Structure 1
């Protein structure tokens, strides 16, 4: 058996995310984003006869979890599912699971994916353009950068990177790839820098950050997958069950906030003295404002600075 690579990962908002689920020891739970298995491990510590199903499409995450959760796997308390979390309902149906007591999402890319240079996620380390969370899929960052039309590049840079220089950057990419393909992350980062005015380059933060984020989201269809999965999760929750979602940028947070608001809002007809049970909203918000990392966590976990946690509870199973 090949030796598993060391999987360094500081779990963000570990206790807040799991504790706000109010875990039942005999419940059925899902970790939709296994990653470094921190949330899964902590949630499992609160289960007695319950069971956890943990999803990840990344083989590295599974290899790590098989070591980190070895005892729980041997005890039959956890099932690892190698699939995109947009397949939530279908994958759980294979285990005859149609209802769950709670679910966790830690959206975005995991620290180890950034840290493994060859994965091509980082604009600070040189590697072939890749950015695939599922390394078995065909579409990678290389195809997006070299094959997408100018207009499609502009669209994803605006939509997923919210970059005001989207057109200038797309034009520079188009000009460079007409000469030869753009192969590596640092090559792309340099092209992005060359498209920006000097005053923009002097600003805090890496000038390629938003464009790399946009390409990564496109490659993995992150927002589409998250929307589909969260919708399925809400449907699968038992009444009283809870959903915890950690986001790391405005697009993810806006998506989560919008879905939660849609399911927690009811238009009450005028003159109705009391709301019938069947007309109650499907969700109620556990926290109206997102939970942020504590000062203590921020000291040792830089990734936690942009993290926001939103939690909601199922209060009605009527469609």
Structure 2
């Protein structure tokens, strides 16, 4: 088994955004996507009054991060869960509210770097792609059982793949000859189906298909849709939610959720917001932030990141839902 590398994306900026919410006794950060614990380690080091609850659906990631963070003793608590289970996790820990949430979305460094997990297209490996390898369908199950229309939808919506229908039709035809089991055969099919001019632009021709399969296998967008309002509802006054997204669909979902939570119900033509009717939350970042150019050059995983943050400024307010309209003036 190879040893994964771990380079947390926008580490200093993430800690900077979280620090004001964690600078008090009893502060608790919930790291909803613990991974190998790089962000959590920085918070524990730089915010000495804070504790961290680390959630991960991947038992191996949880084990490795727990070993890494063991020197911090009872300031760290690892929980095996999917991050849309936030209410259950907090109830189980006796925490009615917390000081912050961090979401670092997408596949973790460990999952990408361990070839045997099947997330990477650069080496031949079983087509698994489950973040929790103990449960659920694999990428091979998707390829071998979904109809052409559903495969097309997944590749188009999650991978933004221009040749989704062509790829789906070939997958369905090829699996009749032999079921898909390993990544090399899928990669070869993609090289054959995607026209040569298209293969020369936009990165590796398998990147979009592998991303789409991973998102489907792990139900990533629906999990995020449930988790965002749960996190917003669970932060105390002064608490913050910080999200790093790597996919346009994820970022749009975060943008809508944060816009809904910060919108005002005051009529548009009213020149001021009456006292007591201010939104319960405010945007900390204006629009989304990107990684600095030097970080993008050093760490390819930082190239597509979009970072957003929100803060609760008073009690109350409606639960944020991704379907609500944007508030006035939100970028």
TM-score by shorter chain over 0.5: yes
- Cα distance in 2 between the residues matched to 1:271 and 1:8: 53
* Matched-pair contact (CA < 8 Å) for 1:157–1:215: yes
C-alpha displacement at 1:45, in angstroms? Answer: 1.7
Equivalent of residue 134 in structure 2, options 129, 133, 136: 136
C-alpha displacement at 1:204, in angstroms? Answer: 4.1
Equivalent of residue 77 in structure 1, options 69, 75, 82: 75
| Equivalent residue, structure 2, for 1:41 | 41
Q: Secondary structure at the match of 2:93?
A: coil
| TM-score after normalising by structure 1 | 0.93
- Cα distance in 1 between the residues matched to 2:175 and 2:127: 14
| TM-score after normalising by structure 2 | 0.90
Matches of residues 204-219 of structure 1 in structure 2 within 5 Å?
Answer: 204-219=202-217
Matches of residues 161-172 of structure 1 in structure 2 within 5 Å?
Answer: 161-172=159-170
Deviations 1:220-274 (A, max 9, x none): 0111111211110000011221111001121111111111112122242256454
Asked whether 1:55 is paired with 2:55, we answer yes
| Equivalent residue, structure 2, for 1:18 | 15
117-126 or 267-276, which deviates more: 267-276
Q: How many residues of Structure 1 are paired with residues of Structure 2 in the alignment?
A: 314
Q: Secondary structure at the match of 2:112?
A: helix
Q: Secondary structure at the match of 2:303?
A: helix
Matches of residues 1-319 of structure 1 in structure 2 within 5 Å?
Answer: 6-21=3-18, 22=20, 23-26=22-25, 27-72=27-72, 74=73, 76-269=74-267, 272=270, 274-316=272-314, 317-319=316-318
- Cα distance in 2 between the residues matched to 1:242 and 1:11: 19
Q: Secondary structure at the match of 1:306?
A: coil
C-alpha displacement at 1:299, in angstroms? Answer: 3.6
- Cα distance in 1 between the residues matched to 2:283 and 2:197: 42
207-216 or 265-274, which deviates more: 265-274
- Cα distance in 2 between the residues matched to 1:54 and 1:293: 24
C-alpha displacement at 1:5, in angstroms? Answer: 6.8
- Cα distance in 1 between the residues matched to 2:142 and 2:274: 51
C-alpha displacement at 1:196, in angstroms? Answer: 1.7
C-alpha displacement at 1:32, in angstroms? Answer: 0.7
C-alpha displacement at 1:111, in angstroms? Answer: 1.5
* Matched-pair contact (CA < 8 Å) for 1:131–1:141: yes
| Equivalent residue, structure 1, for 2:328 | none
- Cα distance in 2 between the residues matched to 1:284 and 1:88: 22
Q: Secondary structure at the match of 1:310?
A: strand
C-alpha displacement at 1:295, in angstroms? Answer: 3.0
Q: CA separation of 1:211/1:271 partners in 2, compared to 1, >3 Å: closer, same or farther?
A: closer
C-alpha displacement at 1:282, in angstroms? Answer: 3.3
Over 6 Å off, 4+ runs: none
Deviations 1:146-175 (A, max 9, x none): 001111111111111111211100000010
Deviations 1:16-44 (A, max 9, x none): 01211222242121111111211101111
Q: CA separation of 1:277/1:217 partners in 2, compared to 1, >3 Å: closer, same or farther?
A: farther
- Cα distance in 2 between the residues matched to 1:268 and 1:284: 15
Q: Secondary structure at the match of 1:241?
A: strand
- Cα distance in 2 between the residues matched to 1:166 and 1:271: 46
* Matched-pair contact (CA < 8 Å) for 1:119–1:131: yes
Long gaps (5+) in structure 1: none
C-alpha displacement at 1:191, in angstroms? Answer: 1.2
Deviations 1:113-139 (A, max 9, x none): 111111011111101100000111121
